[in-house]
Amino acid sequence: MINAAVLGSPISHSLSPRLHMSAYKYLKISGHYDSFEVPAGSLHEFLSDKSNGWTGFSLTMPLKEEVLSIAEVIDPLVKRIQSGNTLIRKDDSWSLYSTDVLGFQNAWNLENSSKPKSVLIVGSGATARAAAAAFDDANTSISVLHRNLEREESMQASVKASGMKFLPWQFTNDLYKFDLVINTTPKAVLDSFAQELTQKPIGTFFDVIYNPWPTQFASAWMKTGAPVISGLDLLIAQGIEQIKLFSGMDFDEHELSTYLKKELTSK
């Protein structure tokens, strides 16, 4: 039986419990999935009495970096991007993984048959590093539009093959030219750019936000006729990878993804 939960702050808006419980029902898995408000700096205390009876935990902001100082076993990918979102209880210790990287890749692959050659990542935090690792390829150039110069070293370390350059925080016509633009900033941060979007971009906009949806910038992008991937697609894709880790099962990921998309968009 799976006994798991999502941890973070704020957490009341999270669709993860609905996603996981719907998946357990579809897969005929016995399990329970809850949510807990766990503010920054309190993860160690929360986990102190959770060693027995728990399968694992999903982690959202602001815990994806804090958890690295707590987990005993850390996956190499997590070390590279300095971000983890999945804790599994194994052999009396916590093992830490990231399903965000595969989540980005799988959400992209649902609608696209080839890798993007040029990627713009908006933001440079934990989710941005996962996005960079997801599209890291010798044939892909990655640009980062951000405001925190101190994060450039960790962003650069998240890729092995791609070239990476950093851009100042301002809207330019270069945004129209990327194959893929990924927003990893919190809600409303990109709203000021929405009114400046006046042409049809050549690429796809991928927004990690799913509530509220669509965001102002995503709405402006869609109005041009250019494609958009929503944060719900990412949530489902990374959640499916977590379910594989929690359950140890193999299943048809595409079928489950289609089912969950219908479940999570229904009233």
User: Is the confidence at residue 94, as pLDDT, over 70?
Assistant: yes
pLDDT digits (tens, 9 = 90+) for 209-249: 998 899 999 999 999 999 999 999 999 999 999 999 999 99
Say what the pLDDT of residue 51 is: 83
Mean pLDDT of 111-119: 94
Q: Look at residue 267 in the predicted model and tell me its pLDDT.
A: 65
pLDDT class for 130, splitting at 50, 70, 90? very high
Residue 138 has pLDDT above 70, yes or no: yes
- Check pLDDT > 90 for residue 52: no
Over the stretch 38-48, which tens digit does the pLDDT of each residue have? 999 999 999 99
| Domains (range + CATH), the chain | 2-99+233-265 (3.40.50.10860), 112-226 (3.40.50.720)
DSSP characters over the chain: -EEEEEEESS-TT--HHHHHHHHHHHHT--EEEEEEE--TT-HHHHHTT-SSS--EEEE-TTSTTGGGGT-SEE-HHHHHHT---EEEEETTEEEEE--HHHHHHHHHHTT-SS--SEEEEE--SHHHHHHHHHT--TT-EEEEE-S-GGGHHHHHHT-SSSEEEEE-SS--GGGGG-SEEEE-SPTTTTHHHHTT--S--SSEEEE---SSSS-HHHHHHHHTT--EE-HHHHHHHHHHHHHHHHH-----HHHHHHHHHHHHH--
Q: Is residue 139 pLDDT above 70, yes or no?
A: yes
Using a pLDDT cut of 70, give the percent of the chain over it.
Answer: 100
